[in-house]
């Protein structure tokens, strides 16, 4: 009888240790990242995230005239440092589970993306189902600042466009994190290939809401061919303009 009492006491004690939600995350405390841009600044990484403004995309509230997304950026000697530094600028903890698109700057792609791929693949906050593209001629940061027509969230439109283009025209395609890592680490003769994207028009006007309120949008994001890699380094990359 005494042994059963001790067993019951231990079971109750264990239950107190496993109950509760110590790592819960309230939705109103999170910044949902839909897009992330990674650029090279000297020997450092510059990370830009595109966060959703929930009140502006909700059909019930109708919006208050503000931008449906906001971008925040930070620089660090490593990807980890840059992402952690984002908390000094973003008012909310950044949540990466709904990430749709990662844009890699051409300058960084030329130097090599192995460390970037390794960090993201090992980080449990990231799901592996987002697409990866290379920004041509401009920094990845600039691509994430361009407002897009039809879709309120630019990263979402960037995500859906290559899938449509891949079906209709083979010059553009999609590649996920897992596929790119597999291609980079493969010992075969097939080179890794990533879709390229560029800004058409005056970049400065692209981050204005008024630019998508016109019939003929003055600034557009255009998928332009493919970026070919030799292992983890882009072949024939050029210095991107700001």
Q: Compute and round to an integer the Cα radius of gyration of the chain.
A: 21
The whole-angstrom separation of Cα 216 and Cα 237 is 31
Q: Which whole number is the average pLDDT over 35-63? A: 84
Q: Which whole number is the average pLDDT over 83-101? A: 89
Pairs from 152-155 (Cβ < 8 Å, separation ≥ 24): 152/56, 152/57, 152/68, 152/69, 153/34, 153/50, 153/52, 153/57, 153/68, 153/69, 154/35, 154/50, 154/69, 154/221, 155/34, 155/35, 155/50, 155/69, 155/100, 155/101
Return the percentage of the chain with pLDDT > 90, whole number.
34
Q: Which whole number is the average pLDDT over 19-44? A: 79
201: confidence class by pLDDT, cuts 50, 70, 90: confident
217: confidence class by pLDDT, cuts 50, 70, 90: confident
160: confidence class by pLDDT, cuts 50, 70, 90: confident
Choose between 152 and 16: higher pLDDT: 152
The whole-angstrom separation of Cα 107 and Cα 207 is 22
The whole-angstrom separation of Cα 132 and Cα 178 is 10
């Amino acid at each position: 009888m005494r042994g059963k009492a001790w067993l019951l006491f231990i079971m109750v004690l264990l239950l107190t240790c496993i109950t509760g939600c110590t790592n819960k995350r309230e939705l109103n405390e999170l910044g949902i990242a839909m897009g992330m841009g990674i650029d090279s600044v000297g020997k450092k990484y510059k990370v830009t995230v595109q966060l959703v403004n929930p009140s502006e995309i909700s059909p019930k509230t109708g919006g208050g005239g503000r931008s449906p997304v906001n971008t925040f950026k930070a620089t660090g000697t490593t990807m980890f440092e840059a992402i952690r530094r984002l908390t000094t600028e973003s008012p909310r903890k950044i949540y990466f589970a709904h990430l749709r698109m990662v844009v890699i700057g051409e300058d960084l792609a030329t130097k090599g993306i192995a460390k970037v791929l390794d960090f993201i693949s090992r980080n449990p906050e990231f799901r592996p189902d987002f697409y990866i593209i290379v920004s041509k001629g401009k920094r990845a940061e600039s691509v994430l600042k361009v407002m897009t027509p039809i879709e309120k969230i630019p990263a979402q439109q960037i995500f859906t466009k290559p899938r449509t283009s891949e079906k209709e025209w083979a010059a553009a395609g999609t590649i996920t994190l897992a596929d790119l890592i597999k291609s980079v680490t493969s010992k075969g003769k097939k080179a890794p290939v990533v879709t390229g994207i560029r800004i058409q028009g005056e970049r400065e006007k692209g981050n204005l809401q008024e630019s998508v309120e016109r019939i003929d949008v003055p600034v557009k994001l255009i998928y332009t061919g493919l970026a070919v890699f030799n292992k983890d380094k882009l072949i024939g990359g050029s210095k991107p303009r700001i």
